[in-house]
Amino acid sequence: MTIVNFGSINVDLVYALERMPQPGETLSARSFEQFLGGKGVNQSVAIAASGGEVRHIGAVGPDGDWALGRVAALGVATDGVARVATATGHAIIFVDAHAENMIVIHGGANQALNEAQIDAALAAAPSHAWVLLQNETNLTVEIVAKAKQAGLRVAYSPAPFDEARALAVIDQVDLMAVNQYEAEALRAARPDLSGTALLITHGAKGAEFIAQDGQRQFQAAFAVDPVDTTGAGDTFLGAFLAHYSQAPDQLSLALRYAAAAAALQVQKPGAAVAIPSKSEVEAFLAQQARAG
């Protein structure tokens, strides 16, 4: 099943720290590394790594060669990525000794999607395709409206969370993917979320799928020792959607595969580059089954 992903592409500047800095404090990093990231591209890499077919639609700046090279090297075609005059988006990421992170993003080229690029991508999408999007690009409300007008199904991850943008489209999207905090914020703004399927990730506890009719299915997380949780939610969503879009009746398989993919991803540093291949996930699941 084709998934057309309108998503961010970031250069992640990652600083490993003993602990997070306090306001006004200067800390020395233990190490520094540059990785490919961006919620959008992380999800595209996870879809491709899980055996799904993804078309990534986004934008990079004149400085975008490094990021585009990494995207292609990770198995995602770059022909849907525009070159614009604004610098490529980036993220400053602190990762502490407990593998927790703090992230500040600068949108840059991710905020330069235009309607012609969106229209062309949707016109080229097969009628059975899913559209995926997050909140790191501009024109999210427009993308949802155009995708629904074209009769496509839409999965939306409203991160970084923006209540107004999420509420503007909640009745149109087919799947809303949120973390536990975003789910709470949505429920505070609108107590009745029935009518939209929800995929809620609960970090190290696991994830839950709530269907449109309210039926719930829970998937526990696999217990692992994380080194960097950056991009774990993106990995979960991409891996889940690759399976769910193909076989919506095999929900528990999709959830279990996604939990395994995220469990492997957090054991390596970096976001997109840490996403495991399908064979790695299947080997992990077989090992878990043997362990009983």
Give contact residues for ligand RIB (rule: CB under 6 A).
8, 10, 12, 37-39, 42, 91, 103, 105, 136, 230-231, 234, 271
Q: Which residues contact residue 72 at a Cβ distance below 8 angstroms, ignoring those fewer than 6 apart?
A: 78
- DSSP letters of 121-148? HHHTS-TT-EEEEESSSS-HHHHHHHHH
Residue 202 Cβ vs ligand RIB, minimum distance, rounded to whole Å: 16
Nearest residue by C-beta to ligand RIB? 37
* Separation of alpha carbons 269 and 274, rounded Å: 6
Longest CA–CA separation in the chain, Å: 54
CB of 190 to ligand RIB, least distance (A): 24
- Which residue type does 117 have? Q
Rg of the chain taking only CA atoms, in angstroms: 18
- Least distance from ligand RIB to the Cβ atom of residue 25, Å: 23
- Cβ proximity to ligand RIB, 36 vs 147, nearer residue: 36
Q: Minimum CB separation from ligand RIB for residue 38, in Å?
A: 5
Is-catalytic flag, 174?
no
Helix axes 232-244, 39-49, angle to 10 degrees: 50
Residue closer to ligand RIB by CB (options 227, 251) is 227
Identify which of residues 185 and 211 has a Cβ nearer to ligand RIB in the complex: 185
Q: Tokens 């934008």 appear where?
A: 59
- Based on CB atoms, which residue is closest to ligand RIB, 125 or 207? 207
Among the options 79, 174, 234, 249, which is catalytic?
234
CB under 8 Å to 177, separation ≥6 — which residues?
Answer: 155, 156, 157, 198, 199, 201, 237, 240
Q: How many other CB atoms are found less than 10 A from the CB of residue 82?
A: 15
**Looking at beta carbons only, is 12 or 182 nearer to ligand RIB?**
12
- Burial group, residue 278, by CB count within 10 angstroms (0-12, 13-18, 19+): middle
Minimum separation from the CB atom of position 119 to ligand RIB (A): 25
Give the active site residues: 234
